Structures are given as C-alpha cells and as structure tokens.
Amino acid sequence: MKKLRFGLIVAALVFAACDKIEVVALEPQSEQQALMTRTSISDDGHTYEVVTVGKTDLVLMDGTTYLLSDDIILSPGQVEFLRQEGLPQETISATRAAVSTKFVEYWPNGTIYYTIANNFLQPERVNNTIEHYHDNTGIRFVPRTNQRNYIEFVNVSGTTSWSYIGMIGEKQQIQISAGGTMGTVLHEVGHALGMYHEHERTDRNM
C-alpha cells in the first residue's frame, strides 16, 4: 500500500521591522507536537495529518477519517476506544491474531456476507480472492441477502485501497482502487477479517 509522506509544516511569524521583512521559523516544542503538526496533501488531493488519540498516533484524512497505518479506516467506536484505552498491546506483539474483541470484532462463525457494487471494475479480483480464502482457510464468504452486517466491495478513485479492521457492524465498505490487484483485495479483506499488517507480511502465506 502506498506510504504516506509527511512534510513538516513549520509555523512562521512574519515581522515587519524597519524596511525589511524577517521570517522566523518556530521549532516544534516536543516530539509529540512535531507529530501533530505533520501534514501533507497527497497527489490525489487528500489531506493527511498525524494526530495523537490517547497514546496512539493516527492519520486523519481530510479532517474526517481516522486511519491506522496506511490503509485501515477506524470506526468512530474504535477511535473512542483508542482515546480511552489505547491500542491493545497484543495487536502489536502477538504471533497469532489474538486481538481484543473490544477493539476488533470478528465475524461470527467465520462467515462474511458481502455484496459487490454493480459498477465494480474487474469483479473477478474479488471472486478470485474469495476463492483463495475458501481454498486456504475456513473463512466462508456468502453473498448477502438481508443480513445486517456485511461488506460491500466498491471502487475508489486514487491509488490507495482501504478497509476497516474487523467487523464494524451494518454495512462496511472495502474500497479498491482501479489499479488494485487481486493481491490488493486479499490484503484489504485481511483487514476486514481483523488482521493487522504484522500478520500480513509478503513472506507469509495467508
């Protein structure tokens, strides 16, 4: 997934003294303040800002969407969890995906209901991903009829694809860019199953 780059925005004061103008850069007062002032605008027009929620640094996209890592969208409930509890340690260090059920909810019975948007480009990327999960795991994907909690696969502009982590409740989207491959879909579905990047290294078999 695309790495975000942050340029350091340094507040500047402009002094007019006599006939000359002097620009004075203010250095950040602490590491945390430095983090909170990092911001950048991506090539596809999104604004990214690093904000500290509780003790966790998150990326705030367009002032509205909180991201954990590059491509994981957090629900409002998860952001509030981080504000109060912080990121559960086991999400970082565990060798198995033993994450807190308070922060990440798993899909009951390993069954994921899903729909694919009608205008989704190359839906075989999704179908091949589902086949791959069915061949290699006990996870089962079932086309949604009227289930309350489900995934909708949609396309998104730009070069980054996105997913929530775990089951959020009601409809949650997995957003796949036009250039995303089946590998991209596999990766994003992994997040929706509750996996973090530590569990998705390219040297691991999923």
The site for Zn ion (CB under 5 A) is made up of 71
In the chain, % helix, strand, coil (3-state, to 5) comes to 25, 30, 45
Instruction: Give exposure, 103-137, as e/b (b: 16+ Cβ within 10 Å).
Output: bbbebeeeebbbebeeebeeeebbeebbebbeeee
Quote the tokens at residue 43. Answer: 């090539």
Q: In whole angstroms, how close is the CB of 161 to Zn ion at the nearest point?
A: 8
Q: In whole angstroms, how close is the CB of 29 to Zn ion at the nearest point?
A: 33
Q: In whole angstroms, how close is the CB of 196 to Zn ion at the nearest point?
A: 8
Nearer to Zn ion, 71 or 105 (CB): 71
Edge-to-edge order in the sheet of strand 65-68: 7-8, 38-41, 47-53, 56-61, 65-68, 72-73, 162-164, 171-177, 150-156, 111-116, 140-143
Find the residue with minimal CB distance to Zn ion.
71
Q: In whole angstroms, how close is the CB of 72 to Zn ion at the nearest point?
A: 6
Nearer to Zn ion, 36 or 60 (CB): 60
Nearer to Zn ion, 26 or 92 (CB): 92
To the query of whether residue 188 is one of the catalytic residues in this protein, the response is yes
- The DSSP 8-state label assigned to residue 29 in this structure reads S
Nearer to Zn ion, 88 or 180 (CB): 180
- The DSSP 8-state label assigned to residue 181 in this structure reads -
User: Residues 49, 105, 188, 200: which is the catalytic one?
Assistant: 188
Q: Based on the number of CB atoms within 10 Å of its own CB, is 203 exposed (0-12), middle (13-18) or buried (19 or more)?
A: exposed
Residues involved in catalysis: 188
